[in-house]
Structures are given as structure tokens and as C-alpha cells.
Structure 1
Amino acid sequence: MARPRTVDREYILDVAEGVAAATGAAGLSFGAVAAAAGMSKASVQSAFGTRESLIEAMLDRWLAQETARFTAKAGESPSLKVRVLAHIANTSEESEVSMQRAATLLACLAGSDSQVGAVARWYTTRVGDLSVRNDEERRLRLAFLAAEGAFFMRYVVGYSMCTERWSDIFEDLTRMAGEPERKQDRQGRRKQL
């Protein structure tokens, strides 16, 4: 009796990412992935069960890869400032393909509660609950939110932005997040510490 053929989930995830990048969220189906992978639709479906499970696996893999890059920049127990600066750097340096993949996965999640919690937890580990105690934390919160806004404008909404403009924005955000805290001197002028 022949052994059942095993399905390589990582290979299917690679193919699914390619399908999603080429066709967008609407084109991501078991049939499309199976055709691109050169296997039966049943084989793809047996590996993931549902389209939502496939999307969850794709998102989990992207989050793990992004988190590994982030940790390499920020270290194991970074301060808020280091976390925000590492996040800005990660977002700025991420490849177009990876950013489009992330945007497609987020679009696939729209209207689905299945992985929204994972994304919310990812944000929480990155910046906490967005509460602030001082001006520096307020500036860091704004820089983080601006980086996310730039990502959404360019990759989710499709706002046209050249590479030079993208780099310029992230240089500004890096400066904004990296500014040292300032205090006022006795005459009410702000001075750098």
C-alpha cells in the first residue's frame, strides 16, 4: 500500500503569497493556489481546511518574520524609544513585495475576526496601549502612528508615492522619534538636554 503524499505547508504558503501579491485579496482561493502550485485543490484544502486558516497561517508567518527583523534591531527588552525607532526602520526598509503582501493579508482580514486579535497583540507588544506620560512619549506615539499611516496610504489605499518621498518621510520620522527630550530654561525657551 502506498504511503499518502505529504503536503509541504511552507511551499503552499510561498505560492499563496505569490497569488495574493499578483491578484490581491479577491484572487486568493484554494483553486488559484492549487493551480499555481501544480497540485489538486483538495491537497491545498487538506493542508489548511479553510481559506481563513490559510490567511491566518500567511499572516502568522509574516508577523514572525517581521518580529525577527524588529528584534534584531531593537534587542530583547527595548525602551519605547528604541521600539519606535526600530519599527520606523523596519517599515522604511521593508521590501515592496513584503509590504504589498502584508497589505493584502490585512485586506483579506477585513471583516474577519479570526486574526484581528493577533494583529492587535502585535501592536500592543510594539507600542503598548498608546498612553503617554510626557512630551517624549507623545512624540514617539505620533511618530509610530505616522509610520503606520504612511504604510496604509501607500500599500493599502494605493496612494502613489515615489521611493524618494517614502525615504524622506521616514527620515523625518526617525528624526522626530530620535529627538532628545527638551526642557524650558528660566526664560521659557526650550533647550535641548
Structure 2
Amino acid sequence: MGRPRSIDREKVLDIAERIVREEGATALTFDALAKAAGITKGGLQYCFGSKDDLIAAMVERWFAAFDVEVARSTAADAGTIERARGYVVASGRIDEATQTKMAGMLVTLLQSPEYLQRVRSWYATWIGRFDPGSEAERRARTAFLAAEGAFFLRSLGLVEMSQNQWDGVFDDILKLL
């Protein structure tokens, strides 16, 4: 009796991200992913459950990596304003390909009420850090929202920006802090 083959979840997520990056979010199907990963569709369903669960795992992994990037740009004992600065710096470093991939996955994911709540919760945590009674923290909240707005406008192809323009926008956002 042979040992059951285990599926490397991180490797499968890497392959899923590659499919989205190279072919777009609509190309990410269980059939395409199973074929690219060299596993059965049933194995993929066992590992992730549904396509929504797969996309949620991709988004959660991205959020976790982004949070690490923010932490890398922020002192451990930093206050809200410095954390917002770290957020803006990390947002400005995201390349256009990653932005497009993330926006596509988020748009798909947000169609599900369960996953919409997860994303809302992540944002609520960030927004909840800002003290509306502090002028400096209101500016930090505005910088946070400006960084998110720039991210989504560029990611969804609503605004085209060169890398120099992108860097300039984030320099201006940082000035709010």
C-alpha cells in the first residue's frame, strides 16, 4: 500500500499566481491549475475546496506578505502615523504586474459575501487604528486611503502611470505624513 501523495499548498498557490499573472484571472480554473501543477482536480478540490477558497487563500497569502512588508518598513513600537507611513511605502513598492493580479483576484473574491467580509475586516483593522480626534492621524488616514485609491486606479487600468509618475504620487502621499 503506497503512501498518499501530499500536495504542496504553497507551490500550488505559486502556480495559481503565475497563471493569473501570465494569462489573467479568468484563466484560473481548477482544470488549468491542476494540469499546471501536475495534480488531479480532485486533489486540488481536497486541498482548497472551491475556486473561491483558492482565491481567498491567494489573497490572504498576499495580505500576509504585504503585512510583513509593512512591518519591514516600520519599527516594532511605531505609532499609528509611522505605521501608515510604512503602509504607504510598502504600497508604493508594489509593481504593476502584482497590482493587476491582486485587483483581479480581489474583484473576483468580493463577489462572495463570506470573502467580502474577510477583506472588509482587514481594511477595518487598518482604518480603526486612526484616531479621528487627532489631526495628524486624520492626515495619516487620508494618506492610507490615497495609497489604496492609487493602487486600485492603476491596477484596474483606470489610470495609466509611468513608474516615475507612480513614484511621484507616492512621494506626494508621504508628504501628508
Give the letter aligned to residue 3 of structure 1: R
What is the CA distance between 1:125 and its match in structure 2?
3.0
CA distance in 2, matches of 1:40, 1:172: 49
Matched, 1:48 2:48: yes
Q: Distance in 2 between matches of 1:126 and 1:69?
A: 15
State the partner residue of 1:107: 107
CA distance in 2, matches of 1:68, 1:78: 14
Alignment of 1:30-179 (within 5 A): 30-128=30-128, 132-177=132-177
Distance 1:123 1:80 in 2: 14
CA distance in structure 2 between the partners assigned to 1:42 and 1:15 by the alignment: 17
Query: How far is the alpha carbon of 1:90 from its aligned partner?
Result: 0.3
Q: Give the corresponding residue for 1:12.
A: 12
Give yes or no for contact 1:21–1:104 (8 Å, CA) kept in 2: no
Q: What CA distance in whole angstroms lies between the structure 2 residues aligned with 1:22 and 1:108?
A: 17
In the TM superposition, what whole-angstrom CA distance separates every residue of 1:168-188 from its partner, at most 9, and x where no partner exists? 0000111121xxxxxxxxxxx
Q: Which amino acid aligns with 1:7?
A: I
Q: Secondary structure at the match of 1:115?
A: helix
Q: Is the 8 A contact 1:83 1:127 kept in 2?
A: no
**Does 1:24 pair with 2:20?**
no
* CA shift digits 1:112-155 (9 cap, x unpaired): 12222222232233231655113322222221111111001000
Q: How many corresponding residue pairs?
A: 177
Question: What's the Cα RMSD here?
Answer: 1.8
1:59 and 1:102 in contact (8 A); partners too: yes
Q: What is the SS of the residue equivalent to 2:36?
A: helix
- 1:60 Cα deviation after fit: 1.4
Report the secondary structure of 2:161's partner residue.
coil
Higher helix share: 2
TM-score, scaled to structure 2: 0.90
| In structure 1, distance between residues paired with 2:62 and 2:84 | 19
Distance 2:146 2:95 in 1: 19
Distance 2:32 2:64 in 1: 25
Q: Which amino acid aligns with 1:76?
A: A
Name the larger-Rg structure: 1
Contact 2:80 2:129 in 1 (8 A): no
Mean Cα displacement is larger for which, 125-134 or 35-44? 125-134
Please tell me whether the aligned partners of residues 107 and 156 of structure 1 are also in contact (alpha carbons under 8 angstroms): no
Distance 1:71 1:166 in 2: 22
8 Å contact from structure 1 (residues 83, 126) kept in 2:
no
